[in-house]
């Protein structure tokens, strides 16, 4: 197998499995571990993968955006910790916006016994609150994206623009100091950007793997957020660099 074919196979494995490990790839592809490490370096340079200890994880691009099943399997323990810390950031809010994504769905589960009005574009978040006797759920209409089970486009935007939200819990596909918060899909970016505008307070929930990355469509600056909740996997020096732009960073 030539290097281009092997590297395409590695990207496919990463995208289907959520993570690839150097020794396992070397055995599966029948090459030396040093060859795999060189391949991962090349793929990281092409912004298709992100190197992590012992292997790599896929980066989300215009050509690849992970779906619900993938997101529910990657960084799972970290996402539960993030959701728990984020749920403590209500601070008396009565109206809440929950973004699309798996972590906001976990937050929804933790809000089910609160007296709140929750606005969301996410069918996953709405489903998590369906049996709550204390939460009123307003599900935004619009075109449903099958990959994330969330609504976008003008129906969703028109309703969201008319609201005033106390606190919005938002996710991102990528965040970096230079380019802010980005996502692959312009339609998703428009919904997120609108949520940023109508919310009095914004809380970003993002696993450490999203940091230092960029995607296609910018929807917010780091300084637009009062709080960032991530995992302890994000190094303290990196957290301090984001705090220098304005938000407090909680490492859960």
Q: Is the pLDDT of residue 45 over 60?
A: yes
The residue whose two tokens read 């307003």 is 138
Query: Residue 45: which of 7, 18, 6 has the closest Cα?
Result: 7
- pLDDT of 70 reads 61
Q: Which helix (H) or strand (E) holds 28?
A: helix 22-29
Q: Is the pLDDT of residue 50 over 70?
A: yes
CA pair distance 37, 41, nearest whole angstrom: 6
Report which DSSP code applies to 211. Answer: B
CA pair distance 30, 136, nearest whole angstrom: 55
- pLDDT tens, residue by residue, 164-190: 999 999 999 999 999 999 999 999 999
Q: Report the predicted TM-score, pTM, of the whole model to 2 decimal places.
A: 0.82
Q: Same topology for domains 3-58 and 68-251, yes or no? A: no
Q: Is the pLDDT of residue 81 over 60?
A: yes
Per-residue pLDDT averaged across 50-76, rounded? 72
Q: Is the pLDDT of residue 74 over 90?
A: no
- pLDDT tens, residue by residue, 187-210: 999 999 999 999 999 999 999 989
Domain spanning 3-58, CATH architecture: Orthogonal Bundle (1.10)
Question: How many residues does this entry show for the chain?
Answer: 252
Q: Which helix (H) or strand (E) holds 199?
A: strand 199-205
Which tokens in the block code for residue 91? 């601070």
- pLDDT of 221 reads 98
Domain spanning 68-251, CATH architecture: 3-Layer(aba) Sandwich (3.40)
Query: Residue 191: which of 99, 126, 117 has the closest Cα?
Result: 99
Mean pLDDT over the full length of the chain: 93
CA atoms within 13 A on the CB side of 225: 31
Query: Domain segments of the chain: what residues?
Result: 3-58, 68-251
């Amino acid at each position: 197998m030539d290097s281009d074919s092997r590297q395409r196979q590695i990207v496919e494995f990463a995208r289907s499995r959520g993570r690839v490990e150097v020794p396992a790839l070397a055995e599966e592809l029948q090459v030396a571990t040093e060859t795999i490490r060189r391949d991962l370096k090349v793929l990281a340079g092409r912004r298709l993968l992100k190197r992590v200890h012992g292997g790599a994880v896929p980066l989300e691009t215009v050509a690849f955006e992970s779906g619900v099943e993938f997101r529910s399997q990657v960084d799972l323990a970290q996402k539960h910790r993030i959701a728990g810390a984020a749920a403590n950031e209500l601070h008396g809010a009565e109206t809440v916006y929950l973004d699309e994504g798996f972590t906001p769905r976990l937050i929804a589960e933790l809000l089910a016994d609160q007296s709140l009005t929750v606005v969301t574009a996410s069918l996953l978040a709405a489903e998590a609150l369906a049996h709550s006797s204390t939460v009123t759920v307003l599900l935004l209409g619009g075109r449903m994206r099958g990959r994330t089970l969330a609504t976008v486009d003008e129906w969703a935007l028109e309703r969201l623009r008319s609201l005033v939200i106390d606190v919005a819990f938002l996710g991102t596909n990528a965040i970096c100091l230079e380019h802010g918060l980005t996502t692959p899909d312009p339609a998703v970016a428009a919904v997120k950007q609108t949520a940023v505008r109508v919310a009095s307070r914004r809380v970003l929930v993002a696993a450490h793997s999203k940091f230092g990355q960029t995607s296609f469509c910018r929807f917010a600056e780091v300084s637009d957020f009062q709080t960032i909740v991530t995992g302890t996997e994000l190094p303290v020096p990196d957290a301090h660099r984001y705090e220098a732009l304005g938000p407090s960073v909680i490492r859960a």
